[in-house]
A and B are shown apart, each in its own frame.
Chain A
Amino acid sequence: MPYLGGEETVRELRRALSNPNVQSDPLRYRNTILKVIRTMSQGVDVSGLFSEMVKACATVDVVQKKLVYVFLCSYATLNPELSLLVINTLRKDCQDPNPMVRSLALRNMTNLRLPSLVEYVEQPLTAGLRDRAACVRRVAVLGWAKLHNLHPSSEIDAAVVNELYSLLRDPDPVVMVNCLRALEEILKEEGGIAINKPITHHLLNRLKECDIWGQSEVLRVLQRYRPQSEDELFDILSLLDSFLVSPHPPVMAATLSLFLSISSNLPVISLAALERVSGPLLAACGSGSREMRFAAVCHIQLLLRSVPGLLGPHYKRFFCGYAEPAYIKERKMQVLVELVNDENVAMILDELKGYCTDVNTDTAQAAISAIGRIGRSYSDRCLQILTGLLGLKQDHITSAVVQTMRDLVWVCPQCSDTVCLALDGCEETLQDIQGRQALLWLLGVYGERISTAPYTLEVLIDRVRSEASLGIKMELLTATMRLFLCRPAETQDMLGRLLHYCIEEETDMCVRDQALLYYRLLHCGIEKTREVLQGRRSDPSLGVLIGRPAKPVSQWARCFNTLEPLSQGAVEAESDSRGSPEHVTYNSKPNADLSDTLSCSHIEEVHSGAEKIEEVDCAWIEECVRCPAVLHCSPQSLQAAMQLVNIQTLAFTPQQMLPWRVYLYTHTQRSHSMDAPNTTLILGELLCTGEANQKSGVKKGTADSEAGAEGKEDQLVRKEMDATADRLRVSEDGQEEEEGIKVILNQQPKDDDALRQFLTILITVLNTLSSEKD
């Protein structure tokens, strides 16, 4: 009916609408109009009935009026001239003794969205602001915002703005809140409504009268207020305290946002607020609506960035229900990883283990990688679970486990023995590219300890002709090269075949170039090759810090209670490392660990990541500091000291070991921050080779730097190697002063002032530490 007979229906409706018999029977008339609306919502163009509907507007039946208005508001823009006819009826209705009719007329007058009608609308709107009935005032106030929205460039009369300001004191709370909303819209150019002390106090005092929508609105607007004294601040905070534990998540979240913004200079207050709010947030995590639950878990993730231990005892609240949607399960698992401690690790791992066999493969893989993350601190237990999962011989599980093991081994090289044992036979189950790439990487790096490695590679090399994935071919090349270095006799022949195929037959330039590079590298001799290919191992002597350093609240306070925490990209990149540690995989997100940018989609993330590696936009400096006693500091006190100035330690060698190293990073604000991004990342290394080792240190350093240079060439071919990490290696060239500590800093994007500033602070810290020890 709707589409085929569209024209016929319209004709019929027109006939009915203009039939005097129908018009004289109110019930029939209204039913005909209802039919028009129904037809309209089915997608039929009934705009042709405009003039008939305008006539139908003149009625005493409120319901009929509403129906006609629905119609008129949908089609007014198509018939601006005819709409003028409606205006008269509407203006007459604005004088009606019934306030419902008055508010209805006023609302629809502004909903017509016709710029040409503005002059007719202003007068009734002005009158509406002074109407006796609150429901009319509510509509009139928002009407001005709508009017401004039609003509964003034209200014609303200052008198009206003043009247709106005075209506903030209207006895009706909805009128008051609507005034806030209208003024925010009208004064958008000036940064919204002016929030001064009297307005703030007035709004705060009336907060209890408002419904949750009103409360959220008021609390949000008040974020712009800066209390004039500490006393005032505390008065406001104690007034708001009951809202902080409001059972309505939107109000609670809005209150916390306000707390964080007005007490941004008082970290103690912010932290106390976070603790206070954890109860209601946990309650929201158990909300009946899954969307609310999701929003709550996402916001909890923000809180945990600053107070990692906040919800430790409540970890069970983040166990997943059987029927929960995958998106909630995934976030809950991320939270569980954050909450792990000695007491609950067994329970959490047991629970996560149950999720690994979830029917939803994404949930299963997320659970496996969560176990891997926990494995960085509790490697034995986790490896036991992961190894057990391999026994299931399910391809998606095996793939996730192998990838997780690869990531784990990079961070905790001490796991490598167990991993090597577990890998045997995996290649038969693995199907997807990421999983096979991970396996290849492991075979290359730990080939000497995996007896079957050459056979596994040989099978793949024999099939390389039919291999479709570029990533697999590249990984295969590297893995075979690496294996050749440690097991030349078994591998030489197959390496030859592989190189021959890749250079002579392969059509993809990347693969071919990489093969050529390796071929030429082999001409330079085995030692050179070894330097290039084995230069990038993780250092087993580095201790990994357990737990993530707390970040200041200000880092996320701005995006609290918005859409942002809900978007997938907002998850800390660290908790989602599907790429290989060296970023060798093509499908990985290059630089993901370094970029703190929030992205909405994966595609964007890849793009922004690729753009980040612009060499020009990096800075690099070296300094020598004389503070020998720092070496004798315990890592904990060093870390604590660094954190005081917002420097995070990534890894360090044990105390007094030589060469002594600490890796650290920080984000700083750019001095000229007009263009985005306005932070820069600084990566730093502290190095002390020590007196005794100095000579060999120099030698090693030089070799390393060459290796680094080679690595650069390598990187040009492979495109996504991490420039920053490479630089760290280049940096060691001996000749430091006796017992001096070398500070090497990398910065991206470049900002000399910030870098210098950072260096000064770092040196101050080191000197202070050193003098304390002396």
Chain B
Amino acid sequence: GVCHSGSSASISPYPVASSSVTPTLTMSPFATSMNLLYCLLSPHLSNFASKVLICRNYKGDVDMSEIDHFMPLLMQHEEEGLLCPVMSHGNVHFMWIKHSNLYLVATTNKNSNASLVYAFLYKLVEVFTEYFKELEEESIQDNFVVVYELLDELMDFGFPQTTDSKILQEYITQEGAKLEVAKSKVPTTVTNAVSWRSEGIKYKKNEVFIDVIESINVLVNANGSVMSSDIVGSIKLKTMLSGMPELRLGLNDRVLFGLTGRDKGKTVMMEDVKFHQCVRLSRFESDRTISFIPPDGESELMSYRINTHVKPLIWIESVIEKFSHSRVEIMVKAKGQFKKQSVANNVEVRVPVPSDADSPKFKTSTGNAKYVPEKNLVVWTIKSFPGGKEFLMRAHFGLPSVENEEAESKPPITVKFEIPYFTVSGIQVRYMKIIEKSGYQALPWVRYITQSGDYQLRTNV
């Protein structure tokens, strides 16, 4: 040690008080709240006016007309290539997300916690989607009353309040819009200890359906090497159980949770394990038991990610030859790299073609190929793809003699598939115990599906 930290303390080159505050971002210790929330319809190409569908002013200290600056700002940023999920006008910051043709925009004049605001906006989408199946202009117009009721419950004075849609659904219902005078049932869950489940649920037949779903994300380089791969899994429940049942879920021993930090050779190491709030985390942390009182109906019990080298389940080899001014020849070979007993269903191989290609011709060893000109894709569909098999597709396109001058991007080949009765990670449900004080017998059903997530193979052309 040459110098001691003592001397560094005396000079203290790095001030504790923030030295680097942007002029426009006022640092304030009161920094989580949102002022305004908007839902905008994305502008039509013909006129650049956007339509405000909903507006909720939670704090009343930012002018409602601030939103008028949003669209012009968005356009301007887009033109300059500086598009960003945060945009500022004066001391107002717009944080926005886009969902189908809607923009959800939160404004704040504080140096807010960015990820919290985005999390809230996505929560909003989630709640609305659960209410209206689809969040779009029509559903908002048709459910005006419910939307305003929800906005009032979701947030007060710029602070998120009740955001669990299970709870919300107990006292804000679309039926409420139909007349029902003095609907005065107090939702027990607003104050209940078990906030995600109400008392007095009854089913004739008591059943639980467990779905183990794993999505494979793969990125393969043009030269055939796997750049990255991971598995995103989730265990979903559909609970149809009476009363207040106690459930215990047992998984096979191969599954080790990343939280423990134990590493024992040939096990599945899970990362980012997320549990539904109903799971008793303390119990899980002490003895790895997943015990819980389930929410009624559909819910996601847990999700996880496994960052591991996965052999791509469907391997694609492609040769794309482009002869300028005349034609493109495409040869795609698909190989099922999974057990012979398994079958992949609804396989779709999407191969990009140049935007100016024409007169398609196809030849496939199985399934059928279709040209989708609006997406510049050839979609090769194979209804049933057994493991270990190999199939071939050839495509031929004409190219115009006057070539498209613009540089074209090189989109990757993407693959979609679904393999039932199979998980890549090897995760398995060993048992599900259901105990209710009334003592009824209930049946658990388990289903496994592996499907493609973000499954991309880059091409050379």
A residues in contact (CB < 8 Å) with B = 26-27, 30, 34, 37-38, 41, 43, 60-63, 66-67, 70, 97-101, 107, 113, 133-135, 138-139, 142, 145-146, 149, 172, 174, 177-178, 181, 184-185, 188, 191-192, 208, 211-213, 216-217, 220, 224, 242, 245, 247-250, 253-254, 264, 279-280, 283-284, 286, 289-292, 294-296, 298, 316-317, 319, 321-322, 325-327, 350-351, 354, 357-362, 394, 551-552, 554-555, 558-559, 561-570, 596-601, 604, 640-641, 644-646, 666-669, 673, 676-679, 754, 757-758, 761, 764-765, 768-769, 772
Q: How far is the CA of A172 from the CA of B195 in the complex (A)?
A: 11
Looking at the assembled complex, report how far the CB atom of B62 sits from the nearest CB atom of chain A, in whole angstroms: 12
9 residue pairs, one from A and one from B, having the closest CB atoms: A362-B81, A213-B160, A247-B274, A359-B409, A283-B272, A250-B116, A558-B18, A669-B15, A291-B118
Looking at the assembled complex, report how far the CB atom of B374 sits from the nearest CB atom of chain A, in whole angstroms: 16
Looking at the assembled complex, report how far the CB atom of A290 sits from the nearest CB atom of chain B, in whole angstroms: 8
21 A–B contacts from the bound complex (CB under 8 Å): A37-B144, A62-B183, A63-B145, A66-B152, A97-B184, A100-B186, A138-B161, A149-B60, A149-B157, A192-B29, A212-B119, A249-B119, A321-B219, A326-B81, A562-B27, A567-B22, A604-B24, A641-B2, A646-B8, A667-B14, A679-B14
Looking at the assembled complex, report how far the CB atom of B59 sits from the nearest CB atom of chain A, in whole angstroms: 7
Note all chain B residues with C-beta closer than 8 A to A317: 228
Note all chain B residues with C-beta closer than 8 A to A599: 22-23
Q: How far is the CA of A339 from the CA of B45 in the complex (A)?
A: 42
Q: Which of B135-183 contact A (CB under 8 A)?
A: 144-145, 148-149, 152, 156-157, 159-164, 171, 176-177, 179, 181-183
Identify which of B84, B115, B454 gathers the most chain A CB atoms within 10 Å of its CB. Answer: B115
Note all chain A residues with C-beta closer than 8 A to B219: 319, 321
Contact A567 B30 (CB under 8 A): no
Looking at the assembled complex, report how far the CB atom of A758 sits from the nearest CB atom of chain B, in whole angstroms: 6
Contact B118 A562 (CB under 8 A): no
Q: How far is the CA of A317 from the CA of B228 in the complex (A)?
A: 8
Q: Is B341 an interface residue (CB 8 A)?
A: no
Contact A757 B11 (CB under 8 A): yes
Question: Beta-carbon contacts of B211-243 to A below 8 Å, as 1s and 0s?
Answer: 000000001011000011010000000000000
Contact B191 A677 (CB under 8 A): no
Q: How far is the CA of A562 from the CA of B97 in the complex (A)?
A: 17
Contact A679 B19 (CB under 8 A): yes
Q: Which of A27, A181, A322, A772 contacts B411, CB < 8 Å?
A: A322
Q: Is B456 an interface residue (CB 8 A)?
A: yes
Q: Is B408 an interface residue (CB 8 A)?
A: yes
Note all chain B residues with C-beta closer than 8 A to A597: 20, 22
Q: Which of A250, A677, A754, A758 contacts B119, CB < 8 Å?
A: A250
Q: Which of A253, A264, A359 contacts B408, CB < 8 Å?
A: A359
Note all chain A residues with C-beta closer than 8 A to B17: 558, 673, 678
Question: Beta-carbon contacts of B255-272 to A below 8 Å, as 1s and 0s?
Answer: 000110000000000011
Q: Answer whether A646 and B93 are a contact pair too, CB < 8 Å, given A38-B144, A185-B30.
A: no
Looking at the assembled complex, report how far the CB atom of A364 sits from the nearest CB atom of chain B, in whole angstroms: 9
Contact A769 B159 (CB under 8 A): no
Q: Is B335 an interface residue (CB 8 A)?
A: no
Note all chain B residues with C-beta closer than 8 A to A66: 145, 148-149, 152
Q: Answer whether A216 and B12 are a contact pair too, CB < 8 Å, given A142-B156, A598-B20.
A: no
**Chain B: interface residue total (CB-CB under 8 A):** 107
Q: How far is the CA of A677 from the CA of B148 in the complex (A)?
A: 45
Q: Is B113 an interface residue (CB 8 A)?
A: yes
With A174-B161, A326-B81 already in contact, 20 other A-B pairs whose C-beta atoms are closer than 8 Å: A26-B179, A37-B148, A41-B53, A63-B183, A99-B186, A138-B156, A138-B161, A146-B157, A216-B116, A250-B115, A291-B118, A292-B118, A319-B228, A327-B83, A327-B84, A563-B86, A566-B114, A600-B88, A604-B24, A644-B1
Q: How far is the CA of A317 from the CA of B97 in the complex (A)?
A: 23
Q: Which of A43, A220, A279, A567 contacts B32, CB < 8 Å?
A: A220
Q: How far is the CA of A570 from the CA of B145 in the complex (A)?
A: 42
Q: How far is the CA of A646 from the CA of B4 in the complex (A)?
A: 11
Q: How far is the CA of A27 from the CA of B81 in the complex (A)?
A: 52
Q: How far is the CA of A195 from the CA of B16 in the complex (A)?
A: 20
Q: How far is the CA of A237 from the CA of B25 in the complex (A)?
A: 30
Contact B97 A289 (CB under 8 A): yes
Q: Answer whether A358 and B14 are a contact pair too, CB < 8 Å, given A184-B30, A213-B160, A566-B84.
A: no
Note all chain A residues with C-beta closer than 8 A to B400: none
Contact B97 A359 (CB under 8 A): no
Contact A294 B85 (CB under 8 A): yes
Looking at the assembled complex, report how far the CB atom of A412 sits from the nearest CB atom of chain B, in whole angstroms: 29
Contact B7 A764 (CB under 8 A): yes
Contact A600 B25 (CB under 8 A): yes
Looking at the assembled complex, report how far the CB atom of A133 sits from the nearest CB atom of chain B, in whole angstroms: 7
Note all chain B residues with C-beta closer than 8 A to A211: 160, 163-164, 277
Q: Which of B23, B118, B122, B176 contacts A63, CB < 8 Å?
A: B176
Looking at the assembled complex, report how far the CB atom of B276 sits from the nearest CB atom of chain A, in whole angstroms: 11
Contact A669 B12 (CB under 8 A): yes
Contact B86 A566 (CB under 8 A): yes
Contact B113 A27 (CB under 8 A): no
Contact A564 B25 (CB under 8 A): yes
Q: Which of B61, B177, B190 contacts A149, CB < 8 Å?
A: B61
Q: Answer whether A41 and B186 are a contact pair too, CB < 8 Å, given A178-B159, A279-B272, A645-B8.
A: no
Question: Beta-carbon contacts of B406-420 to A below 8 Å, as 1s and 0s?
Answer: 011111100000000
Looking at the assembled complex, report how far the CB atom of B111 sits from the nearest CB atom of chain A, in whole angstroms: 5
Q: Is B451 an interface residue (CB 8 A)?
A: no
Q: How far is the CA of A284 from the CA of B84 in the complex (A)?
A: 18
Q: How far is the CA of A142 from the CA of B108 in the complex (A)?
A: 18
Q: Which of B108, B119, B157, B230 contacts A145, CB < 8 Å?
A: B157
Contact B191 A213 (CB under 8 A): no
Note all chain B residues with C-beta closer than 8 A to A296: 115
Note all chain B residues with C-beta closer than 8 A to A322: 409, 411-412, 456
Q: Answer whether A133 and B228 are a contact pair too, CB < 8 Å, given A322-B411, A555-B14.
A: no
